[in-house]
Amino acid sequence: MTPSIGVIVNPVAGVGGPAGLKGSDGAEIQAAAITRGSSARAEGRAADALALIGRMRPGAHVLTAADSMGEDASRAAGLTPDIVYRPAAAETSGRDTTAAATALAHAGARLILFAGGDGTARDVCDALLGDTAVLGVPAGVKMYSGCFAVSPVAAGAVAASWMTRGKHPVAEVEVLDVDEEQIRHGRVDPTLYGMVRIPIEPGRTQARKSPTGASQLGAVRSAAAGVVERMRPGVTYLLGPGGTISEVATLLGVEGTPLGVDVVRDGALVLADASERELLALVDGRVARAVLTVIGGQGFLLGRGNQQISAAVLEKIGDDPLIVVATEEKLIDLGGRPLLVDTGDPDLDMRFEGYAKVVTGTRTTSLYPVLAPESKGTS
């Protein structure tokens, strides 16, 4: 049987963009945007993705939420959806997105296509998704998360391929969000909000000639194995957040905290989900290294999502405090932009500037540029 696809449209996603509002979170901003003559673009973009599914998979079984939350876009695309969620009020909120995603997963959707931005991704991430994967149709103002396709039709093509094949590999990616108030004041500080699973297309992102690392999952495992290979007895390792580092914990056989910092020594868990204060105590007088990966599409290494590994903790660890790990794909996806550090201590940041040796596998590293944007003017 063809797997069902769930559809959610955040009807107000993207409304703040054309109005120059840096985002669309919250009823006030949405009203302000509409006052400025903006209209949301999510429904049209969702319909673009769904129209492709309709063409490639005529009669595709689509589950969705009522009216503007997906039903309208589905019908506009020529599909006949089953409605599994109805919002209580005409004006929907993020809570409706979360409730709709939970209802879709519960109704048997194996993949949820959602049209929106980072705020919508957060709300979807809050749902009880179980094994259900998600994929974002890019329609928001902010899209720092790793769960968006490059375009609506690209999202539709991946979803249709998923329906054709029945079984599909998935990868865990980060959901990031940025405080819009901060962007409106010129700051971009994305925080790591959670992890979701997205479908990956093997053979489309990797060359078939490559004898190893035939999939992204293989590449993540290989990068994580490269970290484990570099671990030494008696050294305390602070495992930062992120999917690649979760794989390090898996290889060590310890239960990791995907969004937190776990401390391991000699292959055993010392403390899970440690705070900055706990980390300071644990590295005191010991040889330690912090294991970090690239957070989000902006390439943050320090200062976003892993603030527990603070300037004070890094100072205490001493020289050469980092092991940086990432797949080659992740570095390539940065498109040449440098890795970023922002610990809040410009002098410390300066010490990281230059090039980082990024572990990409057993005995393989990539040398990648690092920038300390906050240290400018202090040096």
Partner 1 sequence: MSLPIAPKPPLRRFHEARWDEPIIFELSTPGERGVLVSRTESDVRSTVGDVVDALPHTLRRETPPALPEMGQMRVLKHYLRLSQENLGADLNVDIGQGTCTMKYSPKVNEAIVRTPLLADLHPLQSEATVQGILEIIWTTEQMLAEISGMDRVSLQTGGGSSAIWANIAMIRAYHEAAGEGDQRSEVITTIFSHPSNAATAKAAGYNVVTLYPDADGYPDIEAFTAALSSRTAALMITNPEDTGIYNPRIAEFVDLAHSVGALAAYDQANANGILGITRAKEAGFDTCHFNLHKTFSTPHGSGGPGAGATAVSDKLVPFLPGPLVERDGDRYFLDSDRPESIGKVAPFYGVVPNIVRAYAWMRSLGAEGLREAAEIAVLNNNYLMKRILEIPGAGAPYASGRRRIEQVRYSWQDLYEETGITSEEIGVRATDFGVHYWTSHHPFVVPQPFTLEPTESYSKSEIDEYVGILAEVAREARETPEVVRTAPHRQTVHHIHHDDLDDPDRWAPSWRAYQRKYFAGDDG
Task: Give the footprint of partner 1 on this chain (CB under 8 A).
Answer: 52, 55-56, 150-151, 153-154, 156-158, 164-165, 167, 169, 201-211, 213-215, 328-329, 331-332, 336, 354-355, 357, 360, 363-369
| Residue closer to partner 1 (CB basis): 26 or 369 | 369
284 in Cβ contact with 255 (< 8 Å): no
| Residue closer to partner 1 (CB basis): 89 or 150 | 150
In the complex, least distance from residue 219 CB atom to partner 1, rounded to whole angstroms: 9
| Residue closer to partner 1 (CB basis): 167 or 185 | 167
| β-strand pairing of 354-361 with 364-371 | antiparallel
| Residue closer to partner 1 (CB basis): 237 or 368 | 368
Chain centre distance of CA 190: 11
303 sits in the region (left: phi over 0; alpha: psi -120 to 50; else beta) called left
In the complex, least distance from residue 168 CB atom to partner 1, rounded to whole angstroms: 8
| Residue closer to partner 1 (CB basis): 364 or 378 | 364
DSSP 138-157: E-SS---STTB-SSHHHHHH
Length of the chain: 379
In the complex, least distance from residue 218 CB atom to partner 1, rounded to whole angstroms: 9
| Residue closer to partner 1 (CB basis): 27 or 332 | 332
Dihedral sign computed on CA atoms, order 124, 125, 127, 130: positive
In the complex, least distance from residue 145 CB atom to partner 1, rounded to whole angstroms: 18
Q: At residue 186, what are phi and psi to the nearest 5 degrees?
A: 85, 15
In the complex, least distance from residue 105 CB atom to partner 1, rounded to whole angstroms: 24
Listed in sequence order, the residues at least 6 apart from 69 whose beta carbon sits closer than 8 Å to its beta carbon are: 8, 9, 10, 11, 85, 87, 92, 96, 97, 100
**What distance in Å separates the CA atoms of residue 335 and residue 301, rounded to the nearest whole number?**
16
In the complex, least distance from residue 361 CB atom to partner 1, rounded to whole angstroms: 9
